Chains A and B, each alone.
Chain A
């Protein structure tokens, strides 16, 4: 009898983390525009997505849009922070992400602003955008137009905050630099050294030479993978938010 209870306890203890994960119900965003309600057409999503991608490429600011039917539990403010937390919108350290959550059936919208953009997208500005740009269109059931107007207004409000100079050049620059350092190192130091070794110890020369190439290709590989930083499936870049932004109902 007791052993069964012990086993049951152990199983419960082992399962606890999975159960708490299952309860969360927070969507993982795989693209910038996520519509769980089938409100937007695929070409509308595509257009919004490309607007946001272009904006992200030039500024590193990450804006994401999420449409849900209704908020799973709690307030939309809480939900928005959870989604933001899970997806980490914005760059790590800059916290320059913005999340627009629309709960269509609850008729409520929230714009959650990352810490780094709170200075330009203040609560008042965000609330203004919701009241003036988004809600009048949502009232007419023009969801796409409302979202688009909201996104445009957000982009306009952020303006020149965070230029893309860092993202566009930093990673490739470092990769190229390291690559050249490796090249110089290789041709200026290792190769002559190896050549010397080969002449001196004829038997093990080949072995030395090969290990040299192996480490060389390792260098180049790591340089390229960090160079291919912007590609692949989209995700947040480690930004955080702290409840800044505004909520509106229609």
Chain B
């Protein structure tokens, strides 16, 4: 009689302990997913910063090249149009969960990238631009910004990969499923779209 009560108590205690351990484990996994998601978000904001930086460079660059190469109207128009379509995008952090929005963002940015490199390629035909200090500075800024964009894109993809793995691999996937974490979208490398080979600085 007394023994059965003891056994029941022990079993109950063990179950309670197991439950507590499970809950503790779930909370720690959840927290890890949250941390990883935050790192994806901060990686995204870096990507956005760098694209914004390029966006801000464009007007000055166009003006500087215009000063020497007035007749290249179509090139300037292309750049201005591509920049305008980038400006029209409303980008929220939600874009990371929305493949279509991400694709639109990428297309617009890639179009601006290729218009810009077309502009620089045309500028190569005007050797006198080389002696314009402002142009040389802007060119190195643009080059640096393109490089920063590719670095931050790579970091973003790495952060997304880590996050996606965490919410898809087995134990994490249970917690992610229960708490509503979903996969995030990668940046796809658009071969040649943003950096045509003919532009070498």
Do A242 and B151 touch across chains, with their CB atoms under 8 A apart? yes
User: Closest approach, in angstroms, between the C-beta of B46 and any C-beta of chain A?
Assistant: 7
Chain B residues near A78 (CB-CB < 8 A): 150
Do B151 and A124 touch across chains, with their CB atoms under 8 A apart? no
User: Out of A81, A123, A126, A247, which one reaches B151, CB within 8 Å?
Assistant: A81
Scan residues 117-140 of chain B and give those whose CB is less than 8 A from a CB of chain A.
Answer: 136-137, 140
Q: How far is the CA of A81 from the CA of B144 in the complex (A)?
A: 13
Interface residues on chain B, number (Cβ under 8 Å): 17
Chain A residues near B148 (CB-CB < 8 A): 242-244
Do B46 and A245 touch across chains, with their CB atoms under 8 A apart? no
Asked whether any CB of chain B lies closer than 8 Å to the CB of A246, the reply is yes
Do B147 and A243 touch across chains, with their CB atoms under 8 A apart? yes
| Chain B interface, >50% SS class | helix
Scan residues 152-170 of chain A and give those whose CB is less than 8 A from a CB of chain B.
Answer: none
Asked whether any CB of chain B lies closer than 8 Å to the CB of A31, the reply is no
Q: Mark B27-54, 1 if CB is under 8 A from A, else 0.
A: 0000000000000000000100010000
Do A124 and B141 touch across chains, with their CB atoms under 8 A apart? yes
Binding site for B on A (CB under 8 A): 77-78, 81, 122-124, 126-128, 242-247
11 residue pairs A–B, Cβ–Cβ below 8 Å: A78-B150, A81-B151, A122-B144, A123-B140, A123-B143, A124-B141, A242-B148, A243-B144, A243-B151, A245-B144, A246-B143
Binding site for A on B (CB under 8 A): 46, 50, 136-137, 140-141, 143-145, 147-152, 155, 201
Q: Other than A243-B149, A247-B143, give 11 A-B pairs with Cβ distance below 8 A.
A: A77-B147, A77-B151, A81-B151, A122-B141, A123-B141, A123-B144, A123-B145, A124-B140, A127-B143, A243-B144, A245-B147
> Which 7 interchain pairs have the tightest Cβ spacing?
A123-B144, A243-B151, A127-B140, A243-B148, A124-B137, A243-B147, A123-B140
